[in-house]
Amino acid sequence: MQIKTPAQVKQEFINSGIPVSNWATKNGFVPQEVYKVLNGQAKGNFGRAHEIAVALGLKKETKVTV
């Protein structure tokens, strides 16, 4: 899977005609959290923001063993 930029993800939403809020709800995320990740307010390094970034294709999913 190729890593995307936030601009690419936003354009995909525009091209597909799917509102970000619908995608968020369908995937079990709060729409405001998804907007924060897409707009750079949440970096997506940890927790829920990271899960959103991975689901959007902004980051690779990694398995960490501690």
pLDDT at 1: 67
Residue 62 lies in a domain: no
Q: Residue 30 domain-assigned?
A: yes
DSSP secondary structure, 1-49, as one string: -----HHHHHHHHHHHT--HHHHHHHTT--HHHHHHHHTTSS---SHHH
Block means of pLDDT (10 residues each) for the chain, 66 residues, are: 92 97 97 97 93 95 80
Q: How many domains does the chain have?
A: 1
What pLDDT does 27 receive?
Answer: 97
Cα–Cα distance measured from residue 65 to residue 60, given in angstroms and rounded to the nearest whole number: 16
Q: What is the tens place of the pLDDT at every residue in 38-48?
A: 999 999 999 99
Residue 51: give the domain boundaries: 6-56
Question: What single-letter amino acid sits at 18?
Answer: I
- pLDDT at site 63: 81
Q: Is residue 65 a part of any domain in this protein?
A: no
Say if 1 falls within a structural domain. Answer: no
Inside any domain, residue 64 = no
